[in-house]
Structure 1
């Protein structure tokens, strides 16, 4: 048993569950009103599936837009698959929830940002022995990240 509660991991699991629920609702009922999504994901994730030409064009990450035209949306416990149109060329994608970096619905100014495991590992260091706060975060230290949606506003 762990000696500490991993709130970050628990929060990421809850946020990915929220994305799954939203996508399940969209699969069943379609996108309501003006809702649409910008989803950025890691194209290097071992379970991400996309056309070779897309992986070549976006070797690290890619942002897809789910709005007016999408097809074949399938939602599972591990991720989702969808066909999107890239310049009159429909392409199937499989995106694991673990590969998602950001999920934004600009119509309601909602966004989620996930820290990668590498970023989390880089931030974790043992506190110095003479640290009077025992490694507690200082006011400048932020574990959570606020996502600015200004660029998505109309």
Structure 2
């Protein structure tokens, strides 16, 4: 059997390394300028650790914003831990890089999206109609951390 180069896997690995490097720099030096991140991750990933009430509210996917207030950002080769504020309630999260679905820095219009076969099939079924208002997540708790829909950043 002929050997092939798996460009998809190599690209995903490179993109996750980019996220790792960016977050590691932020952990060491803080966020520069107007930079901030929307990170969407798969809450069903077996290595994601989060409060039960957050998992109940976001049983499949969650988007967090790293901007004004965050604490305890620690980056490893496999993922990152961070404490975010949800309605004046600090909550630690452990997010493996393999669980990350999107990484967006809207201050410079930069974004990465990790495709999976399952997502590709869903995208084909949905077409280019975009999300309906009733598909949006419920209003997030008020505080410094926000949970947002990334649909407005997609073209």
TM-score normalised by L of structure 2: 0.76
Q: Deviations over 1:89-145 (max 9, x none)?
A: 10000000000000000000000000125346x69xxxxxxxxxxxxxxxxxxxxxx
The CA distance in 2 between the partners of 1:98 and 1:150, in whole Å, is 21
Asked if residue 79 in structure 1 is aligned to residue 79 in structure 2, the reply is: yes
Cα offset, 1:2, TM superposition:
6.7
The CA distance in 2 between the partners of 1:20 and 1:2, in whole Å, is 33
Q: Deviations over 1:17-53 (max 9, x none)?
A: 0000000100111000000000000000000000000
**For residues 7 and 30 of structure 1, do their structure 2 counterparts lie closer, same or farther at Cα, with a shift above 3 Å needed?**
same
Cα offset, 1:86, TM superposition:
0.5
Q: Deviations over 1:48-101 (max 9, x none)?
A: 000000000000000000000000000000000000000111000000000000
Cα offset, 1:150, TM superposition:
8.6
Q: Pairwise CA RMSD of aligned residues?
A: 2.0
The residue that corresponds to 1:40 in the other structure is: 40
What secondary structure is seen at the aligned counterpart in 2 of 1:4? coil
Larger radius of gyration: 1
The residue that corresponds to 2:126 in the other structure is: none
Aligned residues: 126
The residue that corresponds to 1:56 in the other structure is: 56
TM-score normalised by L of structure 1: 0.77
Which structure 2 segments of 5+ residues have no match?
A: 123-149
Runs of 4+ aligned residues of structure 1 deviating over 4 Å after TM superposition are: none
Greater relative contact order (CA < 8 Å, ≥ 6 in sequence) = 2
The CA distance in 2 between the partners of 1:96 and 1:73, in whole Å, is 13
Alignment map for 1:117-132 (pairs within 5 Å) = 117-119=117-119
The residue that corresponds to 1:13 in the other structure is: 13
What secondary structure is seen at the aligned counterpart in 2 of 1:98? helix
The CA distance in 2 between the partners of 1:7 and 1:116, in whole Å, is 14
What secondary structure is seen at the aligned counterpart in 2 of 1:14? helix
What secondary structure is seen at the aligned counterpart in 2 of 1:59? coil
Which structure 1 segments of 5+ residues have no match?
A: 124-148
**For residues 46 and 150 of structure 1, do their structure 2 counterparts lie closer, same or farther at Cα, with a shift above 3 Å needed?**
closer
